[in-house]
Amino acid sequence: MALALALSMVLGLGTAMSASAQEARIAAVNSDRILRESAAAKAAQSKLEQEFSKRDKALQDMAQRLKAMSDNIDKNGSSMSPTDRAARQRDLAQLDADFQRKQREFREDLNQRRNEELAAVLDRANKVIKQIAEQQHYDLIVQEAVYVSPRIDITDQVLKALAAGATGTGSLTSPN
């Protein structure tokens, strides 16, 4: 009830609205689709993969070394002297601790960079959405909604405008 009242006040749809007032133009954009399907989001994902591929490969190699060391201790541990077995287990524990630390740092760095790249994509998308709103005289464009009628969903138009902005061609005219 409060949301309906707030929307009616924001949109000027209160009870004092005159008969000649125009209907509010409302549209919706699916931000998740923008982050999945836009060329900018795909380019950001590719950039992240390239940026972090060496570290990912190093972690995979380290994991293989850990497994090989563990398998060697399991297989040959009974035939080793107690001091040799203890030394290898210490080496294994040290490598495992190093691996866990590097893996945690990798995840933290990747998440931070991903958030930076996605924020940049959303910033560009928001600028495009604002341009569309101004050019096509929308009163309200929402990005998060429980339900959006396909009739007011302009996500495809935003995706096209983002792609056109990336290539430097196209315009932000209405798709109709």
How far, in Å, CA of 56 to CA of 46, rounded?
14
Degrees, nearest 5: CA angle 121-127-128? 90
Which residue range forms the structural domain that includes residue 105? 24-167
Residue 164 structure tokens: 């056109």
% of the chain beyond a pLDDT of 70: 81
Specify the CATH number for the domain of residue 131.
3.30.910.20
Per the listing, tokens 């992240």 go with: 48
3-state SS of the chain: helix, strand, coil percent to 5? 70, 5, 25
Average pLDDT of the segment spanning 101-126: 96
In a domain, 14, yes or no: no
Interval 8-36: pLDDT, tens? 444 555 444 444 456 889 999 999 999 99
Total of domains in the chain? 1
Residue 113 structure tokens: 């960079």
Q: Report pLDDT for 21.
A: 56
